[in-house]
Amino acid sequence: MDRSSLFQLIQEQLDPEQTGFIAVENFTSLAEQHELQLDPSKLDLLLALVQSDQHGQVCYQELIELLSSKRSSSFRRAIANGRRTLQREILLDETGLGVYKRFVRYVAYEILPCETDRRWYFHQSRLCPPPVFMAIITIVQIVVFMCYGVRLNKWVLQTYQPDFMKSPLVYHPGHRAQVWRFFSYMFMHVGLEQLGFNALLQLMIGVPLEMVHGILRISLLYMAGVVAGSLTVSITDMRAPVVGGSGGVYALCSAHLANVVMNWAGMKCPYKLLRMILALVCMSSEVGRAVWLRFSPPLPSSGPQPSFMAHLSGAVVGISMGLLILRSYEESLHKQCSWWVLVFSFITFLLFAIFWNIFAYELLGVQIPPPP
């Protein structure tokens, strides 16, 4: 039975008068007669939803959203308030799983703090669409780095090469009128050490986050960190260029770490304290390396070295916007007031940064290094 036929069957037999509500006993009867041809896990979730309502009825729209696998709080409320629970309390009790399902279970325990959410994600997870965004970004970054490494014959501290700064991808304050540079700088990296660090985190943290929360939310968070990084540098470190995807990487990592801390008791990933300390040490070391590079004596022909402010602004985006995204699994962002507050704040920052880049450099008399 396809989805449209299933929706028609539900409406005709359970809500013929189109009141918008379905009686619990009617739905249960239909399910027991096996007229709803669903997999057992999805059927169990539906029964949990319909049996949770204290008035003996369930909203038709909530039922359709759950059947459509849309993110909503319906399932969470059903399990929390209902008289029915899932067949197995702990997802780790599942046996006989294939390689893919074991990986999905691993991702569920790495990312989600609630056992109910983990089971819901485990049962509704599909390979389509695959988590391609972080993989594509990482591949492009590696290819670009390899091309410039071969061209410059230098794999560490490429920014000391004047030809590196001539790339049309690097953000340079002298070229800030070329708007694409506020985005494209994420494909360039100082050296193998920065690329390796960013690529590792993008694959280890970004891909699982994309699997759970979807390509739209994670790509939005990553790109928000990238844009905030370059704009912050243009405001706070006005003479410095920017390279590397650290703004987006720190947005993802900061959001994930903050989510782990705020849901510490519910997170069941192994060795979480040790891994938290290791992640903070690595991220702090990368920021320290960027600070050292920024203030190290530059070669006369290379000009100021890339700024470290993109790391910090990415972390701010992750702790604010990213944390809300990660805490809103199953829930619609546009229905939350806090989401619109963050969107308004980000747009305000964008407008301020645009006007700053147009007028502030001349008004303040900033001496910009000549663009390469």
| pLDDT tens string 272-301 | 889 899 999 999 999 999 998 888 766 555
Exposure on the CB side of residue 111, measured as CA atoms within 13 A:
31
Q: Which of 167, 184, 230, 246 is catalytic?
A: 246
Q: Which of 311, 313, 320, 328 is catalytic?
A: 311
Instruction: Verify whether residue 68 is a known catalytic residue.
Output: no
Measured CA to CA, the distance from residue 102 to residue 95 in angstroms comes to 9
Q: Choose among 169, 295, 189: nearest CA to 237.
A: 295
Point out the least confidently predicted range of 70-79, 100-109, 271-280. Answer: 70-79
Longest dimension (CA), the chain: 81
Fold that domain 3-70 belongs to in CATH: Recoverin; domain 1 (1.10.238)
% of the chain residues with pLDDT over 70: 73
Fold that domain 132-364 belongs to in CATH: Rhomboid-like fold (1.20.1540)
Residues 6+ apart with CB under 8 A from 343: none
Which residue did the predictor score with more confidence, 76 or 276?
276
Residue 47 has pLDDT above 70, yes or no: no
Which parts of the chain fold into alpha helices (H)? 3-14, 24-32, 40-50, 60-67, 74-81, 99-111, 115-124, 133-152, 162-165, 181-184, 192-201, 207-213, 215-236, 246-262, 272-295, 309-317, 323-326, 337-355, 361-364
Instruction: Verify whether residue 311 is a known catalytic residue.
Output: yes
Measured CA to CA, the distance from residue 155 to residue 210 in angstroms comes to 30
**CATH 1.10.238 domain span(s) along the chain:** 3-70
Point out the least confidently predicted range of 87-96, 342-351, 363-372. Answer: 87-96
pLDDT at 246: 93
Which residue did the predictor score with more confidence, 22 or 326?
326
**Residue matched to tokens 């880049």:** 357
**CATH 1.20.1540.10 domain span(s) along the chain:** 132-364
